[in-house]
């Protein structure tokens, strides 16, 4: 009855949800849902809902069900997961509703209640067999590290809601830290900086565009991006203001938040057993997640910690690729939770 079982690997992220099926990405959409305030039903998901964000009328609200890597709005999360699975299934023709076997990534610092919320949402959305995997473990698998070897590997996954820092050996997490400084905090930092220094009010969408276009963490890059032109209302007069933002300004405004990630990395290294520590010094530390794409991050962290940092190939999808690999081997991987 294998044809009646559908296997799905899902990275349920704060910013984006990625679904793998048969080793292929079948869905990569923003984790956002637009809801009709009168009926309470979802009217748009993913990219379509993101276009409505910060542009709603009173009849519509856009909700990001995930906050800090965990489910903040249970109903919206269930609607979103169900809707995304439906989108994936619309591409396949079947007379029967398939049994869905899922592997879902969760932050390593999740509480029992938060883990239960992800499991319940996945089951309500049609998952018959639901396995959970900690995101740093999934990142390590997705990067291509041998997580079951008697060797220390360190992963720093900077996502949308949390930064996951973990040392992995023998198929388990030896020591870890999950800090709530990540992509959303960087976006917020940019908004605050523009308010204070340029007197311009910008939305989260514009701040995110600035972060992607010229986001940097060191003031001297080898390849310098062009300044970003911002237009927005003056906070005092509401007249339109045009400003040219350089990457050095972004590096300055993100400095404190990146400093907190550095502290988290050093904190985990302090707890690492000496034998694993020497493995990490030899192999380096691996960066994954969207936040690792900030210009100059690997260089800054290498100088701070004195251990080489490597940015993973396609870091945005490292967790999703890892959940996909875990899905193929659910019987053998002891670190999967049911």
- Tens-place pLDDT, residues 140-187: 999 999 988 899 999 999 988 889 999 999 988 999 999 999 999 999
Write the CA distances from 7 to 4, 129, 243, 259, integer angstroms.
10, 9, 49, 40
| Domain 2-138+319-328 annotated CATH 3.40.630.10 | no
Nearest by Cα to 149 from 336, 274, 319, 276: 276
- Classify the phi-psi angles of 68: left when phi > 0, otherwise alpha if psi is within -120 to 50, otherwise beta: left
Round to whole Å and give the CA distance between 175 and 233: 46
Q: What is the CATH number of domain 184-253?
A: 3.90.640.10
* Residue 94, pLDDT above cutoff 70: no
246: pLDDT strictly greater than 60: yes
Domain spans of the chain, in order of start: 2-138+319-328, 152-181+257-314, 184-253
Q: Which pair of tokens denotes residue 79?
A: 């609607």
Whether the Cβ atoms of residue 193 and residue 247 lie closer than 8 Å to each other: no
pLDDT tens digits, one per residue of 298-311: 999 999 999 999 99
Q: Do 2-138+319-328 and 152-181+257-314 have matching folds? A: yes
Q: Output the six-digit token pair for 85.
A: 């699975």
Q: How many CB atoms lie within 10 A of CB 308?
A: 14
Cβ-contact 233, 181 below 8 angstroms:
no
Of 10-14, 123-127, 156-160, 251-255, the poorest mean pLDDT is in: 123-127
Over pLDDT 70: what percentage of the chain?
A: 96
Q: Distance (Å, rounded) from C-alpha 236 to C-alpha 252?
A: 24
Angstrom distance (rounded) from CA 95 to CA 100:
15
Residue 97's pLDDT is 63
Q: Are 83 and 75 in contact (CB under 8 A)?
A: no
CATH topology assigned to domain 152-181+257-314: Nucleotidyltransferase; domain 5 (3.30.420)
Tell which residue, 253, 268, 76, has the closest CA to residue 163. 268
pTM: 0.89
Rounded to the nearest integer, the mean pLDDT of the chain is 89
**Are 324 and 304 in contact, with CB atoms under 8 Å apart?**
no
Buried b (16+ CB within 10 A) or exposed e, 238-259: eeebebebbbbbbbbbbeebbe
* Predicted confidence (pLDDT) at residue 315 exceeds the cutoff of 60: yes
| Cα-Cα-Cα-Cα dihedral sign, residues 228, 229, 233, 236 | positive
Q: What is the pLDDT of residue 284?
A: 93
Rounded CA separation 121/123 (Å): 5
Q: What is the mean pLDDT of residues 218-239?
A: 91
Farthest CA pair distance, the chain: 67
Distance CA 50, CA 222 (A): 34
Using DSSP, state whether 307 is helix, strand or coil. coil
């Amino acid at each position: 009855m294998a044809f009646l079982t559908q296997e799905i690997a899902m990275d349920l992220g704060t910013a984006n949800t990625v679904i793998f099926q048969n080793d292929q990405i079948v869905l990569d959409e923003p984790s956002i849902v637009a809801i009709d305030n009168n009926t309470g039903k979802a009217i748009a998901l993913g990219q379509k809902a993101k276009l409505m964000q910060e542009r709603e009328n009173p009849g519509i609200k856009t909700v990001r069900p995930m906050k800090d890597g965990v489910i903040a709005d249970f109903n919206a999360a269930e609607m979103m997961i169900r809707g995304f699975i439906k989108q994936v299934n619309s591409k396949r023709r079947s007379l029967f509703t398939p049994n869905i076997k899922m592997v879902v990534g969760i932050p390593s610092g999740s509480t029992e209640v938060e883990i239960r919320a992800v499991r319940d949402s996945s089951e309500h959305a049609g998952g018959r067999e639901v396995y959970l995997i900690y995101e740093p473990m999934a990142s390590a698998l997705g990067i291509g590290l041998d997580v079951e070897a008697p060797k220390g590997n360190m992963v720093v996954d900077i996502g949308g809601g949390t930064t996951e820092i973990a040392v992995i050996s023998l198929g388990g997490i030896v020591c870890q830290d999950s800090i709530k400084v990540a992509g959303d905090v960087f976006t917020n930092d940019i908004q605050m900086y523009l308010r204070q220094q340029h007197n311009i009010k910008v939305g989260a969408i514009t701040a995110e565009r600035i972060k992607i276009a010229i986001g940097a963490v060191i003031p001297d890059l080898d390849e310098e991006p062009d300044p970003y032109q911002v237009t927005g209302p003056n906070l005092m007069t509401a007249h339109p203001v045009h400003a040219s933002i350089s990457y050095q300004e972004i590096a300055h405004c993100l400095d404190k938040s990146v400093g907190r990630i550095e502290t988290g990395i050093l904190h985990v290294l302090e707890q690492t057993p000496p034998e694993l520590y020497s493995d990490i010094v030899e192999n380096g530390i691996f960066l994954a997640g969207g936040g690792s794409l900030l210009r100059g991050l690997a260089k800054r962290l290498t100088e701070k910690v004195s251990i080489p940092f490597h940015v993973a190939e396609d870091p945005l999808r490292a967790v999703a690729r890892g959940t996909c690999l875990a899905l193929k081997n659910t019987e053998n991987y002891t670190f999967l939770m049911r």
